[in-house]
């Protein structure tokens, strides 16, 4: 688990393209680093003091990178001091330094350094602690350290932490505990919590984790489905038994608007917790109308409702809109707000044009870089299908997943991918957020994603839970504008890049117009190779037969 903590703290990335595989906590070398840091600080201080004419301010770039290095060293130094238990502000400061956690708001509670730490400050169910133990979670991740106490104090929250850093448990642990506390006090048939997720797949995943985490606690948790909605609407369910509902926004709106208002079978005004996972998605243009409808229905006459928002990316504009829903919130940021998880090696591959992408992919297949399991992202359903047909006969055990597939087909493909029966999953952005596949070796962006956020989430399907991962993005001449935000994400992660790419990243011209717009791309050839081979063979036979006829009677020409 230490490996996981080190990686989620982002302390493993050296400032090169390569990700270090040395996860051991700096031990013997720590004293050396500390001395080096001291010496550097002294040197810096002296040079500042003798810099009477302030000429050094022009060296700020070099100094900035030096500062970054120093910050890392400082983190390593603090790591030694990371407390096992947090009881004072100073210990909280040390833990936050190690965790790269920035917390703002009023009356911020102390973080926890271990799951046992909760026991000394809150009443916590022994079953919940036992379940955490059985599932192998012995220490909270950076985000969990902060959000578990905040949530247990029933405070509104907006939290941003890298992909794969444990945000699901960061909201489920305190939620399950509080629901049980209420259940012990209250009547049983009151709905207490709703978790919103932008996709059905993610909702299902959260549901499965919630079941495991609450095992033996007697809670009734459900995933809204068409058939369950129908039972509520038709009065088949007369008395609600669910304490927690996990759903997509549309499914919840369908239920809320079609329930007989007199039945009171589900009273949303008594709801105590509203969790918004992938909150920035829920507040972007695709979902804002639905989210707004839900929030206004649920929050009316419900001052006690606690609202919690989580994501790996929260752009400032979206944060402004989202925060307007929260009351006296605490804001938690782990690492850089717009960066990818440090455990992912990021690479850009220039292919010139669209045809070059197919060549690049086939070249990758020849090389060791194409190690399954792999996820390939494309910008549209049509293109995902086309690539699927193109690669169908390359012996890759591929599948294609997009929103035109039925839910049963989608579930089946995901189950087969998880089992290892599918090696290479071709998909659209429907799978880019939240899904926790174990040990994805490679994420391949066949088409450049439209925003920095899409990029961070897509590549975040690899390098999760402390494992290292790799992401390759193919780009053509058409993508010069679209790769700018990606270059900036890579910069945030300390990936070294050539000078011209650095200049391109800094040049904001043209990006604004291109932002969010899909590039019109040349079609991927959709003719399967077998058909192509047959056609080639047929054409060859016709040519041969013509030649033979010509040889037999040359005068005919
Ligand atoms: N405390 C912990 N110790 C070890 N592993 C953990 C811990 N918490 C979560 N994990 C594991 O980390 C992995 C990623 O967790 P999770 O899916 O919650 O990430 P996330 O931050 O929600 O990512 P995303 O932003 O992509 O949705 C999961 O496999 C989970 O089991």
Q: Tens of pLDDT along 394-423? A: 888 999 999 999 989 999 999 999 999 999
521 touches 477 (CB < 8 A): no
Q: Is the pLDDT of residue 292 over 90?
A: yes
Residue in the structure block whose two tokens are 């050296």: 14
pLDDT for residue 382:
94
pLDDT band at 68 (very low <50, low <70, confident <90, very high): low
In the predicted model, what is the mean pLDDT of residues 441-447? 97
What does each C-alpha distance from 115 to 49, 128, 148, 206, 269 come to in angstroms? 47, 10, 10, 20, 32
Residue in the structure block whose two tokens are 């007369």: 238
Query: Strand 101-104 and strand 330-334: pairing?
Result: antiparallel
Q: What percent of the chain has a predicted confidence (pLDDT) above 70?
A: 82
* DSSP 3-state of 267: coil
pTM: 0.80
Q: Is 281 left (phi over 0), alpha (psi -120 to 50) or beta?
A: alpha
Residue nearest to atom 2 of ligand 1 (CA): 137
Query: Strand 374-377 and strand 442-445: pairing?
Result: parallel
Distance CA 452, CA 488 (A): 8
What are 100's strand-pairing partners?
none
Residue nearest to atom 13 of ligand 1 (CA): 465
pLDDT for residue 47:
42
Q: Is the pLDDT of residue 556 over 70?
A: no
Residue-wise pLDDT for 324-379, tens only, equals 999 999 999 999 887 999 999 999 999 999 999 999 998 998 887 889 999 999 99
Give the residue among 341, 519, 355, 375 at the shortest CA–CA distance from 444: 375
pLDDT for residue 388:
95
pLDDT for residue 81:
62
The interface pTM score, or ipTM, of the predicted complex is: 0.99
420 CB-near residues (< 8 Å, 6+ apart): 373
Q: Is the pLDDT of residue 176 over 60?
A: yes
pLDDT for residue 503:
82
436 touches 464 (CB < 8 A): yes
Q: Is the pLDDT of residue 3 over 60?
A: no
pLDDT band at 27 (very low <50, low <70, confident <90, very high): very low
Average pLDDT, the chain: 84
Q: Is the pLDDT of residue 34 over 60?
A: no
- Strands of 330-410 (E only): list them: 330-334, 344-352, 374-377, 398-401
Q: Is the pLDDT of residue 37 over 50?
A: no
Q: Is the pLDDT of residue 197 over 60?
A: yes
Asked whether the bond before 373 is cis by omega within 30 degrees of 0, the reply is yes
Residue nearest to atom 25 of ligand 1 (CA): 163
Query: Strand 442-445 and strand 330-334: pairing?
Result: unpaired
Residue nearest to atom 11 of ligand 1 (CA): 465
Long-range contacts of 387-392 (CB under 8 A, 24+ apart): 387/426, 387/446, 387/524, 388/426, 389/526, 389/527, 389/528, 390/358, 390/524, 390/525, 390/526, 390/528, 390/529, 391/361, 391/424, 391/426, 392/528, 392/529
Residue-wise pLDDT for 101-134, tens only, equals 999 999 999 999 999 889 889 999 999 999 999 9
Question: How many A from CA of 429 to the centre of ligand 1?
Answer: 20
pLDDT for residue 510:
67
pLDDT for residue 303:
86
In the predicted model, what is the mean pLDDT of residues 267-276? 94
Question: How many A from CA of 246 to the centre of ligand 1?
Answer: 18
Helix axes 200-213, 167-185, angle to 10 degrees: 60
Check residue 298 and report its DSSP letter. H
Q: Is the pLDDT of residue 9 over 90?
A: no
Look at 149 and 36; give whichever has higher pLDDT. 149
Look at 438 and 205; give whichever has higher pLDDT. 205
Q: Is the pLDDT of residue 505 over 70?
A: yes
> What's the token pair of residue 57?
């301010």
Beta carbon of 163 within 6 Å of any ligand 1 atom = yes
Residue nearest to atom 28 of ligand 1 (CA): 465
Atom of ligand 1 nearest to the CA of 4: 4
pLDDT for residue 507:
77
325 touches 291 (CB < 8 A): no
Residue nearest to atom 29 of ligand 1 (CA): 465
Q: Is the pLDDT of residue 58 over 70?
A: no
Beta carbon of 465 within 6 Å of any ligand 1 atom = yes
Residue nearest to atom 27 of ligand 1 (CA): 434
pLDDT for residue 8:
29
Distance CA 454, CA 379 (A): 11
In the predicted model, what is the mean pLDDT of residues 275-302? 95
pLDDT for residue 501:
83
Beta carbon of 530 within 6 Å of any ligand 1 atom = no
Q: Is the pLDDT of residue 63 over 90?
A: no
> What's the token pair of residue 120?
């000394």
> What's the token pair of residue 31?
């004293």
Distance CA 261, CA 224 (A): 19
Distance CA 498, CA 445 (A): 20
Question: How many A from CA of 466 to the centre of ligand 1?
Answer: 9
33 CB-near residues (< 8 Å, 6+ apart): 26, 73, 76, 77
Give the strand order in the sheet containing 469-476.
344-352, 469-476, 442-445, 374-377, 424-427, 398-401
Beta carbon of 459 within 6 Å of any ligand 1 atom = no
Q: Is the pLDDT of residue 546 over 90?
A: no
Distance CA 228, CA 222 (A): 9
Give the strand order in the sheet containing 157-160.
101-104, 330-334, 157-160, 306-311, 273-277, 193-196, 244-247, 221-223
353 CB-near residues (< 8 Å, 6+ apart): 476, 477, 522
Atom of ligand 1 nearest to the CA of 311: 25
């Amino acid at each position: 688990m230490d490996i996981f903590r080190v990686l989620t703290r982002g302390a493993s990335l050296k400032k090169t393209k390569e990700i270090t595989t040395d996860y051991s906590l700096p031990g013997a070398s720590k004293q050396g680093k500390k001395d080096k840091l001291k010496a550097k600080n002294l040197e810096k201080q002296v040079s500042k003091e003798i810099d009477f004419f302030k000429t050094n301010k022009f060296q700020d770039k070099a100094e900035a990178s030096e500062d970054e290095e120093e910050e890392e060293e400082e983190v390593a130094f603090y790591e030694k001091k990371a407390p096992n238990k947090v009881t004072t502000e100073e210990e909280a400061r040390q833990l936050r330094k190690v965790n790269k956690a920035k917390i703002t708001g009023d009356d911020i509670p102390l973080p926890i350094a271990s799951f046992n730490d909760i026991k000394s400050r809150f009443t916590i169910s022994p079953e919940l602690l036992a379940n955490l133990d059985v599932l192998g979670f012995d220490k909270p991740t950076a985000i969990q350290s902060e959000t578990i106490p905040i949530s247990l104090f029933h405070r509104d929250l907006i939290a941003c932490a890298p992909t794969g850093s444990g945000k699901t448990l960061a909201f489920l642990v305190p939620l399950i505990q509080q629901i049980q506390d209420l259940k012990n006090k209250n009547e049983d048939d009151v709905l207490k919590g709703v978790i919103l997720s932008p996709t059905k797949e993610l909702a299902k995943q959260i549901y499965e984790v919630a079941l495991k985490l609450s095992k033996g606690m007697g809670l009734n948790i459900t995933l809204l489905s068409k058939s369950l909605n129908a039972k509520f609407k038709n009065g088949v369910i007369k008395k609600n038994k669910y304490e927690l509902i996990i759903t997509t926004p549309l499914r919840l709106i369908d239920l809320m608007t079609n329930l007989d208002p007199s039945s009171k079978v589900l009273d949303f005004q008594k709801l105590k917790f509203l969790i918004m996972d992938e909150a920035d998605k829920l507040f972007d243009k695709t979902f804002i109308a639905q989210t707004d409808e839900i929030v206004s229905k649920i929050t009316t006459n419900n001052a006690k409702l606690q609202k919690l928002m989580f994501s790996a990316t929260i752009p400032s504009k979206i944060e402004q809109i989202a925060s307007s829903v929260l009351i006296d919130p605490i804001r938690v940021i782990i690492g850089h707000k717009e960066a990818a998880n440090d455990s992912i090696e990021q690479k850009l591959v220039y292919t010139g044009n669209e045809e070059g992408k197919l060549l690049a992919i086939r070249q990758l297949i020849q090389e060791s870089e194409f190690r399954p399991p792999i996820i390939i992202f494309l910008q549209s359903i049509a293109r995902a299908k086309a690539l699927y047909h193109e690669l169908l006969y390359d012996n890759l055990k591929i599948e294609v997943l997009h929103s035109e597939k039925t839910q049963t087909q989608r579930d089946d493909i995901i189950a087969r991918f998880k089992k290892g029966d599918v090696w290479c999953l071709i998909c659209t952005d429907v799978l880019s957020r939240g899904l926790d596949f174990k040990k994805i070796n490679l994420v391949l962006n066949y088409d450049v994603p439209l925003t920095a956020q899409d990029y961070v989430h897509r590549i975040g399907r690899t390098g999760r839970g402390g494992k290292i991962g790799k992401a390759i993005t193919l780009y053509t001449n058409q993508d010069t504008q679209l790769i700018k935000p990606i270059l900036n994400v890579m910069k945030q992660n300390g990936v070294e890049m050539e000078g011209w790419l650095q200049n391109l990243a800094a040049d904001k011209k043209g990006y604004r117009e291109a932002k969010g717009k899909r590039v019109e791309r040349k079609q991927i050839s959709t003719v399967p190779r077998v058909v192509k081979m047959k056609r080639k063979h047929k054409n060859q036979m016709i040519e041969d037969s013509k030649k033979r006829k010509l040889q037999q009677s040359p005068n005919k020409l």
